Amino acid sequence: MVCLGNICRSPLAEGILKSKTDSQHIFVDSAGTAGYHIGNNPDQRSVAVAKKYGIDISGQRCRKFNYDDFAQFDIIYAMDLSNYYDILALTNDRSEIAKVKLLLEEVALPVREVPDPYYGGTDGFEQVFELINQACDAIAKRLNLP
């Protein structure tokens, strides 16, 4: 799960997908395309909205997306198109390109991107939670099939 800062959207996406999947079989992680907040915990507004829905993301630590992630992960979900193109710019071959998807491609919604809530209010974090939750429901349904 990748966004820009790895403190608002992708920590939520990591926590939400983890809450719906079996950690023995599915490894979920998150990262940011930018390195502004490396080592920091998620934004308090993300921590609060996750907590409201019973998910604890407070222990996560921000890291920057890096080239090794193409080898480590089968699917790389970008929150918005800017993150998507920043990740694609790091690819070296078709197999890496094929791993990169927009998270909201998983659901039929009128929006393609999870909006950046950083400069807005708490409403934005609710909206972001709802969008990510819908996508993670679809992913989990598929991954959890026997």
**Site residues (vs ligand 4NP, CB under 6 A):** 3-9, 32, 36, 116, 118
Nearer to ligand 4NP (CB atom), residue 14 or residue 116: 116
Strand runs (DSSP E) across the chain, as ranges? 2-3, 31-32, 76-78, 100-102
What are the backbone dihedrals phi and psi of residue 6, each rounded to the nearest 5 degrees, phi first? Answer: 55, 35
The residue (of 80 and 106) whose beta carbon lies closer to ligand 4NP is 80
Q: Which is nearer to ligand 4NP, 38 or 143 (CB)?
A: 38
Q: Confirm whether 61 is a catalytic residue.
A: no
Burial of 121 (0-12, 13-18, 19+ CB in 10 A): exposed
Shortest Å distance, C-beta 94 to ligand 4NP: 27
Minimum CB distance to ligand 4NP, residue 21 (Å)? 21
Burial of 126 (0-12, 13-18, 19+ CB in 10 A): middle
Residue number with CB closer to ligand 4NP (20 or 64): 64
Closest CA to 86 of 1, 4, 12: 4
3-state secondary structure of 102: strand
CB of 115 to ligand 4NP, least distance (A): 9
Which residue's CB comes closest to ligand 4NP? 5
**How far is Cα 23 from Cα 33, in angstroms, rounded to an integer?**
24
Rounded least distance, CB 34 to ligand 4NP, Å:
7
Question: Which entry of 43, 69, 80, 116 is annotated as an active-site residue?
Answer: 116
Is 136 noted as a catalytic residue in this protein? no
74 is catalytic: no
Residues annotated as part of the active site: 3, 9, 116
